[in-house]
Amino acid sequence: MNSVILQPAGNGDAKQHYIDTITNPVKLSRMARYLEDEQVERLKELYPDQLIPTWGVTPGKTNGNIKKWNRIQTGDITLFSGNGGIFSSAVSTYKLHNKELALELWGTDANGQTWEYVYFLDEVKQHSIMYIEFNKAVGYKENFIIQGFSILDQEKSIRVSEEFDLQSDTHYPEIPFEEYKKVIKEFDPDRPLDAKGKAMVRTEQSFLRKSLFGGKSVENCGICGNTYPVNLLVAAHIKKRAKCSNDEKLDFENIVMPMCKLGCDDLYEKGYITVQNGRILLNTKKIVTPVLTNYIETLVNKECTYWNESSKPYFEWHSKFHI
Ligand SMILES: [Zn+2]
């Protein structure tokens, strides 16, 4: 589950850094010479325009910030605060420890430390959330003021992300298979979705999306073959999720494929199209309209690259279910 990070940036160095490297994202070309090739490649994948909102923290007194920075995961949300409230949020994508890079971007503070625990951000959004609203959502006292870099615990993070709708639909945390397995076994679809249930859904989605998209920001739809930003793609179950056994759900390499929200996901889910022997077919049992027929004709006979001997039984289940 993603955490919420609090970062005051209303005055002093932090205010200046916000202008220098968030309002004005840093060009990858300026940072590249301080980075390893692999890190440059990763950033190119994440930021096709190579303009990167960048933040960093100092080790802090008695190295207190390092421990917190170690906990930052992809998809965590940083809230920047100052002047009576939270003025923006951003989603973390990637992090690295690099003193030279920090010196280049920000120099040093009054204690001679630099902001070498670097993390990169995306989806920077403006907000005007007053402290009083924020405190109410977290469960803090009315007059609480955010002081210093800190990370909210799981329960508070969930409350804040829900209240202000902060979750990213592009950047998800890395979920170990064991944790995915635990969620699959423990999730009860008949229970109403409380905060814990929602966190479980997010964990399952994070795992499946990571396995399909890696860390990429664009990917191809498995039906139409078109390339889309990943927030327009779903990790769709080839066999209806609700009908899958736990073992089938755990067969994550074969049970899901990317489908676009521009039509393919619904057309497949509702059975207007099926995949047989690796080719997309129109389901003639369904009522269609001329405009829909025209659309589906552009898909018919296309090859579905996710069809193989291992995924075949799931596609066959889908065809039988709908025809
Ligand atoms: Zn598509």
Q: How far is the CA of 167 from the centre of ligand 1 (A)?
A: 24
Res. 192: pLDDT tops 80: no
In this prediction, residue 310 carries a pLDDT of: 97
How many angstroms does the Cα of residue 20 sit away from the middle of ligand 1?
A: 39
Q: Could you tell me the pLDDT band of residue 188, with boundaries at 50, 70 and 90?
A: confident
Task: State in Å: Cα 146 to ligand 1 middle.
Answer: 44
**Cα 258 to middle of ligand 1, angstroms:** 8
Question: Ligand 1 centre from 180 Cα, in Å?
Answer: 26
- Give the residue from 3, 123, 165, 144 showing the smallest Cα distance to 81: 144
**Predicted confidence (pLDDT) per residue in 267-301, tens digit:** 999 999 999 999 999 999 898 899 999 999 999 99
pLDDT recorded at residue 300 = 96
Tell me which DSSP letter residue 62 carries: G
Provide the angle, in degrees to the nearest 10, between the axes of the packed helices 195-213 and 177-186: 140
| CA of 191 relative to ligand 1 center, distance in Å | 32
Gap from CA of 221 to ligand 1 centroid (Å): 5
Q: What is the pLDDT of residue 145?
A: 87
Q: String of b and e for 18-28 (b: at least 16 CB within 10 Å)?
A: beebbeebbeb
What distance in angstroms lies between residue 223's CA and the mean position of ligand 1's atoms? 5
Assess contact for 66 and 130: CB atoms under 8 A. no
Query: Which one is predicted more confidently, 61 or 266?
Result: 266
Please tell me the distance between residue 301's alpha carbon and the centre of ligand 1 in angstroms.
14
Average pLDDT over residues 239-255: 96
CATH of region 4-164: 3.10.590
- pLDDT of 168 strictly over 80: yes
Res. 32: pLDDT tops 80: yes
Ligand 1 center to 225 CA (angstroms): 6
Which pLDDT band, with edges at 50, 70 and 90, does 233 fall under?
A: very high
> In angstroms, what is the span from residue 266 Cα to ligand 1's centroid?
10
At 255, list the tokens: 């049970």
Distance (Å) from CA 75 to ligand 1 centroid:
25
Lowest mean pLDDT among 34-48, 104-118, 136-150, 254-268: 136-150
Domain chopping of the chain, boundaries: 4-164, 217-322
* Ligand 1 center–CA 174 separation, angstroms: 25
- How close is the Cα of 30 to the center of ligand 1, in Å? 37
Distance 54 CA to ligand 1 centre (A): 33
Question: Mind listing the pLDDT tens digit for each residue in 67-113?
Answer: 999 999 999 999 999 989 999 999 999 999 999 999 999 999 999 99
Rounded to the nearest whole angstrom, what is the distance from the C-alpha of residue 234 to the centroid of ligand 1?
10
User: CA-to-CA distance for 84 and 143, rounded, in angstroms?
Assistant: 10
Q: Grade residue 151 by pLDDT with cuts at 50, 70 and 90.
A: very high
Ligand 1 mean position, distance from CA 260 (Å): 4
pLDDT at 119: 98
Dihedrals phi, psi of 303, to nearest 5 degrees: -85, 135
Determine the distance separating the centroid of ligand 1 and the alpha carbon of 80, expressed in angstroms: 37
Cα 88 to middle of ligand 1, angstroms: 33
Is the separation of the CB atoms in 80 and 86 below 8 Å?
A: yes
SS3 201: helix
1 contacts 203 by C-beta, under 8 angstroms: yes
Residue 31 has pLDDT above 90, yes or no: yes
169 CA distance to ligand 1 middle (Å): 18
Average pLDDT over all residues of the chain = 94
Cα(312) to ligand 1 centroid in Å equals 20
CA of 224 to the centre of ligand 1 (A): 4
Cβ neighbors of 303 (< 8 A, separation 6 or more) are 278, 279, 280
